[in-house]
Chains A and B, each alone.
Chain A
Amino acid sequence: MLMSLAMRVSKTDVRPRRLGTIWYQMIVTVIGLIYLTAHHPSEAAPLGDGNSDTFVDATEESRIQFVHNSPFTPDRHTHLAFGSGIGWIDFDSDDLPDLYAAQGVPFEPKRSSAGPESVSDCLYRNLGNGRFRDISNVCGLNDNDYSMGLAVGDFDNDGFQDIHVTNFGLNRLLGNNGDGTFTEIAAASGVADAGFGASCTWADLDDDGSLDLFVVNYVKLDSDNYELCTIEHNGGRYGITCHPRSLLPTRDVLFRSHGDGRFSDGTERAGMPQSPAAQGLGVVAADLDADGDIDVYVANDSVANDLWMNQGNGQLSNEAMSSGTAFNRAGQREAGMGVVVGDVDGDGLPDLFVTNYYGETNTLYRNEAAGFFLDVTDEFGLGSSSRLKLGFGTSLFDFDNDGWLDLFVANGHVHDRPEILGENETFAQRPQLFQNQGGRRFTEVSDSAGPYFQRHVVGRSCAVADYDRDGWQDLAIGHLNSSLVLLHNEARDPRMKSLRIQLIGVRSNRNAIGAVVDVRIGEQRLTRFRTGSSGYLSCDEGCLTIGVGTSETPADVTIRWPGGESQTFRSLHSGRRHVLIEGRQALQLADDDRFP
């Protein structure tokens, strides 16, 4: 990132030349001289029923009282501006997504080991009645480092989801004991990477049925070796969050699973050192070239993005340049923060959406097949709406269950001092909700999306889950040094249906991370991707809620399991949860598992 600083765009940026410049030069110069000598001193359809808010703030009702703790120092230590992730995890396997919130911590240069006054990451157990309970103390979290990104995945295939958390410091792997507690096993498992970690993701990159771990690192900073930056403005000198290119980048790390709960650093063997280290923040893993193996895309801050195409032999090759995803359409490197994958135009291929810095657009890369992507940001209506925002977290999810993926973006600046920003370049910014118009473009519908979308907040992370199992996807949003917000989806158009799919891998990894879900209802085709992380530092729930529109026709669902094996499950009804197990028939669930 962030970057950046207020002026992150180089002089070489190409913008339309405006007509006024030349006119102005002529007119004003003449007039100025005269002064001296003359002694003059949204196309969007209405949301929901049109009378109510689409999203309602349910934080208080849920009893989630998480306040992120990341106060700025006078020196504006860089890592304090980035926020922390949130993730949905069904840690107790009760089919109710629980919420993990990573926590920051005030910066002290020589902090001793965590004391009782320190704050920790929090785990909120979903009680099933719209309420949550903080169980952090009983389940053994106690992470007192500054936590950044997280990824949820059953890395040891024991049926219980585990959590990997990157820190500003030593990363942690929280192994789920299956009894409601976790054990920190990063060192024992070989993933205790140190440094300034950002997003991370689970993915089976070598198709051995075990999840590997990809950790994105940002820059070389640590508590004892902390580079600070200042800026002069109007005669004053201010501490400022450093521009990423003024700091040394650190290399991302790929941890290969041995299949027995242990990992080893596979970065070099995968060929990743072929590319220079970069200031990475966001990551997503999916089969981006539809060749049956999982690829990794990394959103880097102010330098070219990386697209690690899996060569199928354990080797990763950075194809960002040739794929068209390194830069934006104008050949500019952007300040990537979050990244999310999804089929936004209904062609069955995974598209990429990257959030970027203020003054840049967020960027939508449409998958053109054969490993090439086209920047279609402006054509999809996402360009000018994002230029005056600094995007971080993002979610592609179908909030209105019409079968098309909509878009949420959490916005907020990294600089909190208005005197060094423009008039409209505020620290707190409005979040944005975009409605997909039939795969052709997006229309912003923030104004009618509910009170939360009218507020100026310092948004960072976000993650999607249908936490109350009503068939409509909800949204949790993390804010820098502020309260987490849980938004309940009340679009609830009774005509719109969804089906919920839980995937269980057998030959492939247990959580089926990396699977492609192809839903066919008559002529309609919906493609969804099961990923091991999402957006910025965060993780959506693993169970997929798929809006199918008004169709009452049962769906045929084809799963392309990680590794390439396909399996079709026929006649799955909407309004139900379907457990699809690799190599088996769909699991029939009791009638009480229906939802509207």
Chain B
Amino acid sequence: MIAFHKKNSFWIRAALIALLAVGVAFIAFRPNRLEQARKDAARGATYRATKQYIAYLDESPEDHGVRLELAVLLKPRDSEAALEQLLKIPPSTPEYPEAIRHVAHIAIVGEQDELAEDALQKLDQVRPNDAGVALSLAELYYRRARYDQSLPWAREAVRLQPDRALSRLLLAEVLDNLKRPGDMLEPLRKAIELDSDLYPAHANLAYALQYSGNPEEAETEARWCLARQPEDIRVRRWLAMILRDRGEYDAALNEIRLAIAGAPTDVDCRIVEADLLLFRREAEEAYNALIPLYRVHSNRRDYLSSLARAAAMSGRREESRRYQQEIVQIMEEQAAEVNPSLTVPKESPTGMRP
């Protein structure tokens, strides 16, 4: 009996020790939460990985490297959740610049402009001289029609990456929207130097040259474009205007009619055509070309002006007067929309400023 007990006791102890060893080995060698999260993420098991990451971060909230990993994992699927993680990463950490870059990216994609602006401005502070940041800020302000704010960033983007043609194209766009088309020439020329096949640069250069009084070169650019995209109505219209400015009225009329053949209701083309006809004192034809567009374009001053002139010169003076009155009415309605720079702040309106 005693021997039996001694024998059993040995085996029980051995079994317990073995179990303990297995348990220790299991504990010692099983993957931890973070590794599991990473393995899950690598396998594409995003949901499981996210749970693991979050569990891990509950235990280690100061591990901002892992928080950034989680945010990157979440970003394509749940940008709001990613943002939540990213915004928890404090500026004092090495992960902060990368985190704020992702914030900017998410905000831009989600068209959260204010958040994007804030993130990009912060990014510029922590990583100055980053061409991507400058470009993104320039683009952000451009999209929001804040051209005066876009301009310095567009210039900065060009400075930081002088060989990038598209940045110069953006700079030209911004300048144009600031009513400075004369300043577009240099960036557009440089863009073409960098990328001689950049179609928009050639097209815009044709426009800018025509605007600023160089019709000869403008014609070259416009013809370059039309050789590649003959169906481009806008460029063909510019070509007609360029030819008009050079005194080649018949050629101008031919070009604008080619454009109209491709876009019979294009009011910009019709106005150019009407102006050429009026110049030749073919007022009836001009009137007939314009009047069918009245219903759709009666809110456009340039259209109404052209129509008013055609009406007056074709003997419809009262009708012309009516169109002129409509122009005035539109002008009054649009008075509040004038360029903000016109609303000059005043000080001491009745006297000298101190």
Interface residues of A (CB under 8 A from B): 4-12, 14, 16-21, 23-25, 27-29, 31-33, 35-41, 43, 75, 109, 225-232, 239-240, 242-243, 245-246, 304, 321-322, 324, 326-333, 359, 368, 372, 374-376, 378-379, 381, 383-388, 422-425, 437, 440-441
Determine if B3 is an interface residue (Cβ-Cβ < 8 Å).
Answer: no
Could you tell me the distance between the alpha carbons of A12 and B313 in the complex, rounded to whole angstroms? 26
Which stretch, B6-14, B82-90, B300-308, touches the partner chain A? Answer: B300-308
Could you tell me the distance between the alpha carbons of A21 and B338 in the complex, rounded to whole angstroms? 22
Chain A, residue nearest B154 (CB): A28
If the complex has contacts A36-B132, A387-B213, are A19 and B235 also in contact, measured as CB distance less than 8 A? Answer: yes
| A228–B173 touching, CB < 8 Å | no
If the complex has contacts A20-B201, A20-B204, A28-B139, are A246 and B183 also in contact, measured as CB distance less than 8 A? Answer: no
| A387–B337 touching, CB < 8 Å | no
If the complex has contacts A9-B339, A17-B234, A32-B139, are A422 and B301 also in contact, measured as CB distance less than 8 A? Answer: no
Determine if B241 is an interface residue (Cβ-Cβ < 8 Å).
Answer: yes
CB A431 to nearest CB in B, in angstroms, measures 15
CB B303 to nearest CB in A, in angstroms, measures 8
If the complex has contacts A27-B166, A227-B346, A326-B324, are A41 and B131 also in contact, measured as CB distance less than 8 A? Answer: yes
Which stretch, B15-23, B36-44, B56-64, B104-112, touches the partner chain A? Answer: B104-112
| B238–A16 touching, CB < 8 Å | yes
| A243–B131 touching, CB < 8 Å | no
Q: Give 1 or 0 for each of B141-161: 1 = CB within 8 Å of chain A CB.
A: 001000000000000000010
| B352–A226 touching, CB < 8 Å | yes
Chain B, residue nearest A328 (CB): B305
| B346–A384 touching, CB < 8 Å | no
Which residues of chain B come closer than 8 Å to A37, judged between CB atoms?
A: 105
| B212–A388 touching, CB < 8 Å | yes
Which residues of chain A come closer than 8 Å to B192, judged between CB atoms?
A: none
| A384–B210 touching, CB < 8 Å | yes
Within 8 A of A (CB), among B199-257: 199-201, 203-204, 207, 210-215, 232, 234-235, 237-238, 241, 244-247, 249
| A32–B212 touching, CB < 8 Å | no
Which residues of chain B come closer than 8 Å to A385, judged between CB atoms?
A: 213
Determine if B115 is an interface residue (Cβ-Cβ < 8 Å).
Answer: no
Given A12, A39, A322, which contacts B301 in the complex, CB threshold below 8 Å? A12
Determine if B278 is an interface residue (Cβ-Cβ < 8 Å).
Answer: yes
If the complex has contacts A331-B301, A441-B247, are A242 and B344 also in contact, measured as CB distance less than 8 A? Answer: yes
| A10–B241 touching, CB < 8 Å | no
Q: A228-B353, A424-B183 are in contact. List 16 more A-B contacts (CB 8 A).
A: A11-B339, A16-B234, A18-B207, A19-B203, A29-B139, A32-B139, A226-B351, A230-B346, A240-B344, A327-B305, A368-B281, A375-B309, A379-B279, A381-B245, A384-B215, A422-B175
Could you tell me the distance between the alpha carbons of A231 and B342 in the complex, rounded to whole angstroms? 10
Could you tell me the distance between the alpha carbons of A245 and B169 in the complex, rounded to whole angstroms? 34
Chain B, residue nearest A25 (CB): B143
Which residues of chain A come closer than 8 Å to B183, judged between CB atoms?
A: 422-424
| A374–B339 touching, CB < 8 Å | no
Chain A, residue nearest B249 (CB): A379
| A19–B232 touching, CB < 8 Å | yes
Determine if B317 is an interface residue (Cβ-Cβ < 8 Å).
Answer: yes
Could you tell me the distance between the alpha carbons of A359 and B212 in the complex, rounded to whole angstroms? 9
Which stretch, B24-32, B288-296, B327-335, touches the partner chain A? Answer: B327-335
| A332–B182 touching, CB < 8 Å | no
| B312–A20 touching, CB < 8 Å | no
| A440–B215 touching, CB < 8 Å | no
CB B195 to nearest CB in A, in angstroms, measures 11
CB B318 to nearest CB in A, in angstroms, measures 9
Determine if B180 is an interface residue (Cβ-Cβ < 8 Å).
Answer: yes
Chain B, residue nearest A74 (CB): B353
**20 A-B contact pairs sorted by A residue (CB < 8 Å):** A12-B337, A21-B173, A24-B169, A25-B143, A28-B139, A32-B139, A33-B136, A39-B101, A109-B352, A225-B350, A228-B348, A243-B344, A324-B308, A330-B302, A331-B305, A378-B245, A379-B249, A381-B245, A384-B245, A388-B182
